[in-house]
Amino acid sequence: MNLDVHKGYIKTGKVFSDSLIPDFIDEMNDILESPEIVLKYDATGFKKLCEELRSRLQFNENYEMYLSFQIDDLQEHLISTLTE
């Protein structure tokens, strides 16, 4: 994950992955590139990113089996990186 952060806000970002579920990565990239979605570079911003991801993927056929757990793990990991 590459994030362009300016004055405490994520201006844009890009996720690179060889995931077997590309919808997950594609949606993350759409969120990070969207000028309409304002994300702070803090725990609140990462939670908002994951909430938006859940909202977009909730009707995906893979959501219940894989994605809901991955989003929880992603949120936990992103927030943990803030304290490292």
Nearest CA to 49 out of 67, 69, 29 is that of 29
* 37 pLDDT more than 90: yes
At 84 the pLDDT is 60
Domain boundaries, the chain: 2-81
| CB-facing half-sphere around the CA of 39: CA atoms within 13 A | 28
Mean pLDDT computed over every residue of the chain? 91
pTM as predicted: 0.87
| 2-81 topology per CATH | Enolase-like; domain 1 (3.30.390)
pLDDT digits (tens, 9 = 90+) for 62-82: 777 777 788 899 999 999 999
Share of the chain above pLDDT 90, in %: 68
CA dihedral 47, 28, 31, 11 (to 10 degrees): 80
φ, ψ at 68 (rounded to 5°):
-60, -40
State mean pLDDT over 11-23: 89
At 61 the pLDDT is 80
Q: Is the model more confident about 47 or about 83?
A: 47
